[in-house]
A = this chain, B = another copy of it.
Amino acid sequence: MKAERFPVSGRRIILRAKPNGLPKAEDFACETAAVSEPGTGQILVRVDWLSIDGFMAGRLKDQANYAPGVGIGQTMQAFGVGRVVLSGTEHFTVGDYVYGPFGMCEWALMEASPEVKKLDPSLGPPRLHLGMLGISGWTAYVGLFNVGVVRPGETVLVSAAAGGVGAVAGQLAQIGGARAVGIVGSEEKVALATSKFGYAAAISRHDSDFSNRLSAACPNGIDVYFDNTGGAIYDNILDRMNIHGRIVVCGRMANAALADSRQDIGPRDHNDILVKRLRKQGFIVTDYSSDFDRITRTLAALRAEGRLVLPEDIAEGLPNAPGALVRLLRGENLGKQLVRIGTET
């Protein structure tokens, strides 16, 4: 075990109070804590970049979720990339670039579990493994092709189409021979979705003529709805789903401010599900982790060919990580939301 530049303390973001509605930056605090030397089977990671993702809102709630939440005083959860600076296991070497659930912190002491993965630096800058070549890219790929089973010639509607997952989903749907239509949160994002992210058409959900524009944008109806938001917009979309359509439930950004999702009230969808023989299916991308290496190589090849882009919205420094989460949950980011912690690209 070789020490590179062992710290004695580092900063981390802890949860100070359970959010009442949408999280605010004041719900978090930045504190300095001692960092221990890794024991046997552990590594110490210098975190360079953090990924800010919609799932984080769910980790702040008391409602049951697919993964444990964050308690008061605990480090806020986040995926990150960084370098191994101390290693207590033969599986990692000092200097390895790694990806994992490091949390919002500068230094992460981790067990060498399968959740921590070595990165291949030849595929591009490490931070890409948080976006296009990581959770955003995997989620878009798995949602479209494993769950939605998108086929050439079909119409795919994507909500939050200018976010990290949505931006990749538009391009991948087009690469897969489908026609992508996006729902976004502003006119600025309409332009971005159609000019950069492969969308044949995009509509702002705040458009006063939303319903008619959606019909015009989907003249052949909707075969796959890739839903990153949930909420009331769903009722509008059900009407336009085609027979044997698929509804991919990927995110629930529209409910981020609700303490309990049962407060999201609307018409039950059983009639449309039955009449149109729809398949509505939720997924958690980590259930497909055995496929991640293959998907990463596919996405990296598309990037190398110039067929896949993902703009990054970068917040500077760990203390700005809570603010970046607030921005994301308000839909104020453009493309993949990242936080730069270290000095690495």
Contact = CB atoms under 8 A, between A and B. Distances in A.
Interface residues of A, number: 41
Given A252-B270, A268-B264, A281 B278 contact: yes
| Max chain B C-beta neighbours (<10 A), residue from A63, A227, A249, A287 | A249
A266 interface: yes
Contacts of A249: 270, 273-274
A166 interface: no
A277 B283 contact: yes
A64 to B, nearest CB: 7
A279 interface: yes
A213 interface: no
Nearest to A65: B275
A149 interface: no
Nearest to A263: B267
Interface in A255-274: 255, 261-274
A282 interface: yes
A210 interface: no
A284 interface: yes
A63 to B, nearest CB: 8
Contacts of A263: 267
Given A66-B276, A275-B66, A276-B66, A230 B270 contact: yes
Contacts of A243: 66
Nearest to A235: B262
Interface string A277-299: 11111111001000000000000
B265 A270 contact: no
Given A230-B268, A264-B268, A267-B262, A280 B277 contact: no
A201 interface: no
A321 interface: no
Contacts of A261: 267-268, 270-272
Contacts of A278: 281-282
| Max chain B C-beta neighbours (<10 A), residue from A227, A250, A270 | A270
A27 to B, nearest CB: 21
A198 interface: no
B270 A267 contact: no
A231 B284 CA distance: 27
A55 to B, nearest CB: 10
A251 interface: yes
Given A66-B276, A265-B266, A276-B66, A271 B252 contact: yes
Nearest to A64: B275
Contacts of A274: 66, 249-252, 282-284
A284 to B, nearest CB: 6
Contacts of A281: 273, 277-280
| Max chain B C-beta neighbours (<10 A), residue from A243, A271, A273 | A271
A282 B287 contact: no
Contacts of A267: 261-265
19 contacts: A65-B275, A66-B243, A66-B275, A66-B276, A230-B270, A231-B268, A255-B271, A263-B267, A264-B267, A264-B271, A265-B265, A265-B268, A266-B266, A270-B282, A275-B282, A277-B282, A279-B279, A279-B282, A280-B280
